[in-house]
């Protein structure tokens, strides 16, 4: 069917014989335009962000009043504002070990949830439900984390498994509904997000989940025995996020199930004709996507030791969609995208603290970067670069059917 685009990789070299080394070089050369346009996209986004910084700084606005008599002030203040803002962004994201820790901790849930969305994409499913799946996972992780008393390692393992299972169930519901009744996954995942939210609010009102001596809707923090140990100030759950990426890569690129998923994503009719179980693949893909979102909740609850609130997932579930799209639904993509978003989010805080730049700017920057990355034609147009091949991936492009 026509709901999937296959972007052709770079034109293969002319059919003459070439040395092995040359072939290897060509493979990298094929990715070079992608890297170039991505970097250019980031630079473009930062330029627009600079304009926003300039026009949100009071001192710069003031200097506009006498722009025609003394324009230098405007450029000086504007330059200072942009320099301050962006140095704070860099310092706050990768400038010190402290900020790297924060970047990594913020990136870990984004990577996990982004992998989940990406996995569903590859199977031709548009999973908007990472938010709800994370909440389901968080409920399970929190409950096992603070309610039971197990020896340290085992407690962590059980809590993590519970979260992953809960996320898988929540995602699996949408997958099963799609497989059994044809209910569109976009509708069911959006609705399940809300259901998870109200379930969380309901449970937080119960004595079972309520933190003693607190009037807020807030659970106790997870027990010490159920949290990831810290190494150099970073919780070791972050490693798990990278392992998950490796696992997803193996699943999609090296296993039979992954092959079926990609085949179903590329063309469900052809996959069915080839004897693959399309409906089972839909269920499996959504359940796995939910499991990965559950893992993201593990990062939040058992890694950063957040207590359960109705906003425990923040906007991670929705940012995960952008991360997955930024990564063009490859496996390495969400990792890099998650790291970039983690850096922007942790740097955005520093920007606000050090340079007084509004925190929403980080969100605008994120959106602009993805927009420009997704529009290579625009970036090439701005930079006057000729069109070359892009790295090829398969990405769900339509509603499916």
Select 141 or 321, whichever has its Cβ closest to other proteins.
321
Task: In angstroms, give the least distance from the CB of 229 to other proteins.
Answer: 35
Q: Which of 363, 385, 388, 392 binds other proteins (CB under 8 A)?
A: 363
Q: According to the binding rule CB under 8 A, does residue 318 interact with other proteins? A: yes
Q: How many residues bind other proteins (CB under 8 A)?
A: 52
- SS3 annotation, 299-310: HHHHHCCCCCCC
> Contact, 5 vs 329, CB < 8 A?
no
Q: Which stretch binds other proteins (CB under 8 A): 161-169, 187-195, 219-227, 290-298?
A: 187-195
Does 218 interact with other proteins (rule: CB under 8 A)? no
Which span (68-76, 82-90, 237-245, 368-376) binds other proteins, by CB under 8 A? 368-376
Interface with other proteins (CB under 8 A), residue from 5, 236, 257, 309: 5
Q: Closest CB to other proteins among 243 and 367?
A: 367
Chain mean position to CA 226: 25
Given 32, 35, 201, 387, the residue binding other proteins (CB under 8 A): 201
| Rounded Cα distance, 286 and 189, in Å | 10
Q: Per CB under 8 A, which region of 75-83, 225-233, 281-289, 354-362 contacts other proteins?
A: 354-362
Binding residue (CB under 8 A) for other proteins from 75, 83, 97, 202: 202
Handedness of CA 73, 76, 81, 84 (dihedral sign): negative
Piece in contact with other proteins (CB under 8 A), picked from 223-231, 243-251, 285-293, 320-328: 320-328
- Please, which of residues 128-147 interact with other proteins by CB under 8 A? 128
Residue 13 or 58: the one with the smaller Cβ distance to other proteins is 58
Q: Does residue 398 touch other proteins according to CB under 8 A?
A: yes
* DSSP line for 190-217: HHHHHHHHHHHHHHHTSTTTPPTT--SS
Query: CA 278, 316, 178 angle in degrees (round to 5)?
Result: 20
Backbone angles phi, psi at 121, to 5 degrees: -55, -45
* Minimum CB distance to other proteins, residue 268 (Å): 12
Which residue, 251, 257, 289, is CA-closest to 276?
Answer: 257
> Both ends of the chain: CA-CA distance in Å?
9
Among 16, 19, 181, 384, which residue sits at the site for other proteins (rule: CB under 8 A)? 181
Q: CA-based diameter of the chain, in Å?
A: 77
Residue 82 near residue 295 (C-beta atoms within 8 A): no
Q: What are phi and psi of 148, to 5 degrees?
A: -105, 170
Q: Which of 224, 248, 264 lies closest to 3, judged by CA?
A: 264
Nearer to other proteins (CB atom), residue 45 or residue 156: 45
Closest CA to 57 of 347, 358, 360: 358
Question: Which one among 46, 218, 375, 385 touches other proteins, defined by CB under 8 A?
Answer: 375
* Pick 303 or 347: Cβ nearer other proteins: 347
The answer to whether residue 370 forms part of the interface with other proteins (CB under 8 A) is yes
Query: Would you tell me the crossing angle of helices 20-55 and 376-383 to the nearest 10 degrees?
Result: 80
52 interacts with other proteins by CB under 8 A: yes
At 116, phi and psi to the nearest 5? -60, -50
The answer to whether 321 and 190 have CB atoms below 8 angstroms apart is no
The site for other proteins (CB under 8 A) is made up of 2-3, 5, 52, 56, 126, 128, 177, 180-184, 186-188, 190-192, 194-195, 198-199, 201-202, 205, 318, 321-322, 325, 358, 360-361, 363-364, 366-368, 370-371, 374-375, 377-378, 381, 395-401
């Amino acid at each position: 069917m026509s709901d999937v685009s296959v972007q052709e990789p770079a034109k293969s070299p002319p059919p003459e014989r070439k040395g092995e080394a040359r072939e290897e070089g060509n493979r990298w050369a094929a990715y070079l335009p992608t890297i170039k346009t991505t970097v250019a996209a980031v630079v473009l986004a930062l330029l627009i962000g600079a304009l926003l910084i300039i026009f949100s700084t009071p001192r710069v606005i003031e200097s506009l009043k006498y722009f025609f008599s003394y324009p230098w002030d405007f450029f000086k203040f504007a330059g200072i504002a942009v320099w301050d803002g962006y140095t704070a962004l860099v310092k706050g994201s990768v400038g010190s070990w402290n900020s790297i820790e924060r970047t990594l901790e913020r990136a870990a849930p984004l990577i996990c949830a982004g992998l989940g969305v990406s996995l569903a994409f590859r199977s031709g499913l548009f999973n908007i439900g990472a938010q709800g799946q994370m909440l389901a996972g968080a409920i399970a992780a929190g409950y096992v984390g603070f309610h039971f008393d197990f020896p340290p390692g085992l407690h962590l393992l059980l809590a993590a498994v519970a979260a992953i299972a809960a996320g898988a169930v929540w995602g699996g519901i949408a997958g099963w509904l799609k497989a059994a009744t044809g209910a569109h996954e976009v509708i069911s995942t959006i609705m399940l997000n809300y259901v998870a939210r109200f379930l969380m609010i309901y449970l937080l009102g119960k004595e079972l989940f309520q933190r003693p001596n607190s009037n807020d809707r807030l659970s106790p923090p997870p027990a010490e025995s159920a949290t990831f140990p810290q190494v150099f100030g970073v919780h070791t759950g972050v490693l798990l996020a990278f392992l998950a990426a490796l696992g997803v890569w193996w699943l999609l690129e090296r296993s039979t199930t992954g092959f079926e998923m990609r085949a179903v994503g590329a063309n469900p009719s052809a996959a069915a004709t080839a004897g693959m179980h399309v409906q089972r693949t839909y269920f499996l893909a959504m359940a796995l996507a939910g499991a990965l979102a559950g893992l993201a909740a593990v990062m939040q609850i058992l890694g950063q030791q957040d207590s359960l609130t109705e906003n425990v997932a923040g906007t991670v579930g929705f940012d995960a969609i952008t991360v997955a799209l930024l990564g063009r639904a490859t496996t390495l993509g969400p990792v890099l995208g998650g790291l970039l978003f983690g850096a922007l989010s942790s740097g955005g805080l520093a920007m606000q603290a050090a340079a007084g730049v509004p925190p929403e700017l980080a969100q605008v920057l994120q959106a602009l970067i993805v927009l420009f990355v997704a529009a290579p034609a625009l970036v090439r147009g701005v930079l006057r670069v000729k069109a070359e091949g892009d790295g090829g991936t398969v990405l769900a492009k339509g509603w499916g059917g």
